[in-house]
Amino acid sequence: MQRRLAAIVAADIVGYSRLAQLDEAGALDALRQNQTEIIEPKVKAHEGRIVKFMGDGLLAEFGSVVNAMRFACEMLEATVKAASELPPDRRLRYRIGVNMGDVIVEGDDLFGDGVNIAARLEALAEPDSILLTGLVHEQVKNKLELRFDSLGRRTLKNIAEPVSVYRVALGEGTRALEPVSLDLPQRPSIAVLPFESPGDDEEQRYFSDGITEDIITELSRFRALFVIARTSSFAYRDGGMDVTAIGRELGVRYVLMGSVRRTQHKLRITAQLYEAESGRSIWAIKQDRDPSQLFAMDDEIVQAIVTALPGRIEADWLARGKRKRTDNMVAYDYMLRAWDNLYRNGGTEHRQIAELLHCALELDPGYAQAHALLAFVTVLGWYRNEVPDALDKAYELASQGVALDAEDGWCHFSLGFVCLYRRNYEEAELHYQRAIELNPNDAELLSQFGSFLAYIDRTEEGIEWIRRAMRLNPYRQAWHWHDMGFNFLVARRYEEAVQAFHRVSPPMPFDNCYLAIAHAHLGQPEKAREHAEAMIASRPDSSVQTWLPKEPFRDPATLEHFLDGMRKAGFPERPATKPALAVINGGR
C-alpha cells in the first residue's frame, strides 16, 4: 500500500440536480465550461493534479498546501464571476473543502482520512465558501494575504476525532446561521473538560464522564456563571491543545481540568482551574475519599471554583437548593451507565437504558433523576408503538421524579416533555421554564424549549432560545441544527430550514422527511422526491398516516401544512408495512 502526504481540495456545486431539472443542457454546458476554462488550467498553474471529476464535483491533489489554497481561492473567485453573468436561479455555486494529510494511493485515485476530511468540509461549507482544517490554517496563515474565521472544532461524519475548522473570509458572499467569532460573556465563563481516567480505561470512562457532568450540572445552576455545554467541553477529551487555545475556541475565561481514579475502597480526584488567556493556574485540589463521600467532594470542588472566580457569585443554593442525590453508590453507578448509553446511542437502545434504571430504582426507590430518565425513555417506547398506553406511565414516573426533587431541572424537563406529547401545553411550558430556571446554562434544555415553542407556533421565540443554546455549545451538536431547522420549517422559512438540516451531522432520524417537506413547499419536486425516497428506503413504514397521531402541534393547520408537504413529496398515505417507529421529531 503506497502512502504520501498531500494537500487535498474537494469541491462540488450546491443544488446541481435542481439546476439540471430547470435546464439540463444549459447546466451541463456551464459545468463543462468551468471545468475546461477555469478548473483544469488553474490546477495546472498551481502544480496540482486533478484526481477525478465526479459529476458536478471534483477532487484535486497538490504537493504544496499553499498552492492548494491559492487554487481554491482563485477557482472560487473565477466561478463566482462566471456565475454572475447568469440569472440567479441558474448560477453554479461551488463549495470547497481543503485538508492536508496522509493519503492512500491506488493507481490514479486517492483514499483515506486525508481525502475524507476534505470531502466532509466541502459538504459542511456554505455556497461560495471555502472551509479548511486547522492543519492547513497553520501552514498558510502567515503566507497568504487572507483572513480566516475560526468555526471551532467539529465532528465530521465517519471521522474519529473532532477537527478544527476555519473559513476563508471572502466578504459578504456567505450568509451564516451562526456567529463565526465568540465574544467573551460579561459574566465569568468556564469550560469543564472531561476528567481523565487512568490508562484511558473504557470500562471506567463512563464513571469519570459522570463525575465531570455532575460538576457541569452543579455549576450550571449559577445564574452568575456562563458554563459551556457538555458536548463542547467533551470535544477536547484527548488533549493535544493548551488551555489558551481551548479558551479562545470556546469563548471562555476559565478552563477546569481533572482526573478520577476509582478503586473498590478509595476515590482520588484531582482538579485544576486555569485562567485561559494567560494559562495560569489559579486553584488546584487533590483528595482521597471514601466513594460514599463523592457528592460532598463534588460540592467542595464547585464551592472552591466559585470562590476562586472574581466577582460575587451567589452560592446560597448550596444550603437550600441542592439536588437530592442517591446515597447508594451502586444505584449511582447504574444511573451513570444509563446516561452513558443515552449519550452514545441517542435513545435507540431505550430498553437497555430502562433496565439499568429499574436496577437503580430497586436499590433506591427515592432516586428522583432515575424516575425522570425512565419517564423519558418510556416515551421512546411509545414513539415506536411498542406500548400504546406508555404516555400515562411516563407521566406517572415524571411526576414522581418532580415530587421527589423539585429542585432538579432534568426532572422538570422530563415532565414537560411528557406533557407536550399528552397535549397539555400549559403544564408543559411551566415545567420547561422551571427546568431552565434551575439550570440556565443547560444547552440541551434551551434547545428543547425552542423546539417546544415551535409546536405551539411561537417560532421566533424558539429560534432565539436555540441561538442561546448554540452559544453555550460552540461545538455544535446535531440536535441544535435539527431544532433550528424544525422551527424554520414551521415558520415557512423553507430555504433556511434546508440550510439548517444540512448542518445536522450525523443526520438524525427523519431529517430526510423534513427536507422533503421543505423542498416540496419550495416548489422543488425532484429534491423533495429524492429525500422522500431516502426516507422510505431507511424507514419503509414512512407515510402520512404514520405521522398523523403522533406530532403534538397545537394548531391543526400547522400539522396539515406538514402533511401536505409529505403528500407533495410523494410519501404514501399509509405505510406498506406495520409501523415500527411512528414519530418524526423524536427519538434523539
pLDDT in tens, 479-496: 788 999 999 999 999 999
Which residue is listed with cell 470562590?
A: 307
Residue 312's pLDDT is what? Answer: 45
Between CA 127 and CA 70 the distance in angstroms is 18
Residue 247's pLDDT is what? Answer: 85
Residue 353: what residue type? I
Q: Tell me the mean pLDDT in the region 453-472.
A: 92
Identify the residue with better confidence: 448 or 179. Answer: 448
Beta-carbon contacts of 198 under 8 Å, excluding residues fewer than 6 positions away, are 204, 259, 261
pLDDT digits 0-9 by tens, 201-255: 566 677 788 888 888 887 887 777 888 888 788 877 766 567 887 888 788 888 9
Residue 586 pLDDT greater than 50, yes or no:
no
Residue among 403, 197, 222, 416 at smallest CA distance from 302: 222
Residue 136 pLDDT greater than 60, yes or no:
yes
Residue 27's pLDDT is what? Answer: 86
Tell me the three cell numbers of residue 124: 459542511
Identify the residue with better confidence: 583 or 182. Answer: 182
Lowest mean pLDDT among 302-311, 372-381, 531-540: 302-311
Return the DSSP state at 58: E
Tell me the three cell numbers of residue 566: 409529505
Cα–Cα distances (Å) from 251 to 141, 257, 306, 555, in that order, read 21, 16, 19, 39
Alpha helices in 148-223 (DSSP H): 202-220
Tell me the three cell numbers of residue 33: 465550461
Cα–Cα distances (Å) from 477 to 141, 364, 498, 568, in that order, read 28, 33, 17, 30
Residue 156 pLDDT greater than 50, yes or no:
yes
Which pLDDT band holds residue 320 (cuts at 50, 70, 90)? very low
Residue 403's pLDDT is what? Answer: 93
Residue among 191, 588, 213, 217 at smallest CA distance from 435: 217
Residue 322's pLDDT is what? Answer: 56
Residue 279's pLDDT is what? Answer: 82
Between CA 135 and CA 68 the distance in angstroms is 13
Which pLDDT band holds residue 476 (cuts at 50, 70, 90)? low
Length of the chain: 588
CB atoms within 10 A of CB 266: 11
Q: Is 514 exposed, middle or buried (0-12, 13-18, 19+ CB in 10 A)?
A: buried
Could you give the 3-state DSSP secondary structure of residue 258?
strand
Residue 577 pLDDT greater than 90, yes or no:
no
Which residue is listed with cell 474565521?
A: 149
Between CA 307 and CA 305 the distance in angstroms is 5
Residue 170's pLDDT is what? Answer: 67
Residue 582 pLDDT greater than 80, yes or no:
no
Phi-psi region for residue 565, left (φ > 0), alpha (ψ -120 to 50) or beta?
alpha
Alpha helices in 261-367 (DSSP H): 294-308, 317-320, 329-345, 350-363
Lowest mean pLDDT among 208-222, 300-314, 434-448: 300-314
Q: Tell me the mean pLDDT in the region 264-284.
A: 82
Between CA 270 and CA 183 the distance in angstroms is 30
Residue 370's pLDDT is what? Answer: 92
Residue 505's pLDDT is what? Answer: 66
Residue 390 pLDDT greater than 90, yes or no:
no
Between CA 485 and CA 489 the distance in angstroms is 6
Between CA 21 and CA 18 the distance in angstroms is 5
Residue 280: what residue type? R
Tell me the three cell numbers of residue 145: 494575504
Residue 307's pLDDT is what? Answer: 67
Residue 413's pLDDT is what? Answer: 93
Identify the residue with better confidence: 21 or 133. Answer: 133
Which pLDDT band holds residue 428 (cuts at 50, 70, 90)? very high
Beta-carbon contacts of 465 under 8 Å, excluding residues fewer than 6 positions away, are 446, 447, 449, 450, 453
Residue 218's pLDDT is what? Answer: 79
Residue 316 pLDDT greater than 70, yes or no:
no
Which pLDDT band holds residue 317 (cuts at 50, 70, 90)? very low
Between CA 462 and CA 136 the distance in angstroms is 37
Q: What are phi and psi of 489, to 5 degrees?
A: -65, -45
Tell me the three cell numbers of residue 58: 471534483
Q: Is 125 exposed, middle or buried (0-12, 13-18, 19+ CB in 10 A)?
A: buried
Q: Is 392 exposed, middle or buried (0-12, 13-18, 19+ CB in 10 A)?
A: middle
Percent of the chain with pLDDT over 90: 34
Residue 337's pLDDT is what? Answer: 86
Could you give the 3-state DSSP secondary structure of residue 408?
coil
Lowest mean pLDDT among 54-58, 100-104, 300-304, 549-553: 300-304
Q: Tell me the mean pLDDT in the region 62-78.
A: 93
Return the DSSP state at 196: B
Neighbouring C-alpha atoms within 13 Å toward the C-beta of 61: 19
CB atoms within 10 A of CB 67: 18
Which pLDDT band holds residue 396 (cuts at 50, 70, 90)? very high
Are 470 and 250 in contact by the 8 Å Cβ rule? The answer is: no
